[in-house]
């Protein structure tokens, strides 16, 4: 089992990059944010608990997160390759991921840190729109759909995530600084971290990521 971690602040492009890389290289994309949003939509126990934190831009407790990620990875086999988008996000999650991989003879092959300045992250998040049906991401300025408010791919309605309003975004950036940023030094010290400039065009980021993963 091979795991690639995509690390980076809210709006750094983890989801966009993972979606484009996954099909090209045969990875399974695990987005903890998407899994939680699905749980909220379904009204499950986990979804009801998670909703309270997500609305405020706070992190969902580690025990819930570890349970859903480990359960998802168990559905694969020893040859599965995962792109983790949004996990781990705390030292506790990183430690438990390493422990769980050791138990399954798996390993973290790369940690890719998508780095962009906060002003750009705020612009990307306030302008993001998502298709209610198929989940594709758009941006009101940089990735506009052909028809406003309508998904090019499936015709579904585009909506704004409730946590993409400016006040919540500021809290998410703050939470990232307090709880997640320390993972950069953790993986740097282990010699696993690759920094990627994610302020450039998506195609350029994807090419860099593919080169690293293929190399």
* 147 among known catalytic residues: no
Q: Does 20 bind ligand AP5 (CB under 6 A)?
A: no
Q: Which residues, including other chains, have CB under 8 Å from residue 76's CB and lie 6 or more apart?
A: 1, 28, 82
Q: Which residues, including other chains, have CB under 8 Å from residue 6's CB and lie 6 or more apart?
A: 14, 17, 18, 83, 84, 85, 86, 112, 114
Q: Does 86 bind ligand AP5 (CB under 6 A)?
A: yes
Total interface residues for ligand AP5 by CB under 6 A = 35
* 188 among known catalytic residues: no
Q: Does 137 bind ligand AP5 (CB under 6 A)?
A: yes
Partners of 4 in the beta sheet?
83, 110
Q: Which of 37, 89, 123, 124 is catalytic?
A: 89
Interface stretch with ligand AP5, choices 14-22, 103-111, 149-157, 181-189 (CB under 6 A) = 14-22
Q: Does 160 bind ligand AP5 (CB under 6 A)?
A: no
* 129 among known catalytic residues: no
d(CA 160, CA 173): 18
Cβ neighbours around 113 below 10 Å, total? 20
* 20 among known catalytic residues: no
Q: Which of 14, 20, 37, 123 is catalytic?
A: 14
Q: Does 36 bind ligand AP5 (CB under 6 A)?
A: yes
Mapped onto helix, strand or coil, the DSSP state of residue 18 is helix
Q: Which residues, including other chains, have CB under 8 Å from residue 116's CB and lie 6 or more apart?
A: 8, 9, 11, 12, 13, 197, 198, 199
* 123 among known catalytic residues: no
N- to C-terminal Cα separation, the chain: 18
Q: Does 28 bind ligand AP5 (CB under 6 A)?
A: no
- H or E, element range at 171: helix 166-175
Q: Which of 20, 123, 124, 128 is catalytic?
A: 128
Report the interface residues with ligand AP5, using CB under 6 A: 8, 10-16, 32-33, 36, 53-54, 57-60, 65, 86-87, 89, 93, 124-125, 128, 137, 139, 142-143, 163, 172, 198, 201-202, 205
Active site amino acids: 14, 89, 128, 161, 172
């Amino acid at each position: 089992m091979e795991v690639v971690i995509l690390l980076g602040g809210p709006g750094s492009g983890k989801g966009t990059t993972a979606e484009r890389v996954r099909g090209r290289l045969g990875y399974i994309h695990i987005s903890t944010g998407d899994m939680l949003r699905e749980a909220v939509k379904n009204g499950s126990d986990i979804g009801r608990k998670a909703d309270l934190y997500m609305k405020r831009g706070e992190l969902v407790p580690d025990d819930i997160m570890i349970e859903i990620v480990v359960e998802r990875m168990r559905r694969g086999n020893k040859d599965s390759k995962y792109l983790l988008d949004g996990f781990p996000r705390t030292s506790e999650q990183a430690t438990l991921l390493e422990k769980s991989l050791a138990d399954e003879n798996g390993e973290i092959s790369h940690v890719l840190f998508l780095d962009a300045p906060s002003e750009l992250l705020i612009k990307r998040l306030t302008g993001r729109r998502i298709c209610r049906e198929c989940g594709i991401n758009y941006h009101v300025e940089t990735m506009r759909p052909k028809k406003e408010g309508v998904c090019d791919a499936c015709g579904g309605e585009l909506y704004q995530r409730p946590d993409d309003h400016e006040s919540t975004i500021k809290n998410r950036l703050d939470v990232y600084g307090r709880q997640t940023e320390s993972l950069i030094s953790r993986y740097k010290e282990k010699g696993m971290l690759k920094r990627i400039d994610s302020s450039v065009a998506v195609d350029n980021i994807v090419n860099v990521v593919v080169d690293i993963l293929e190399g």
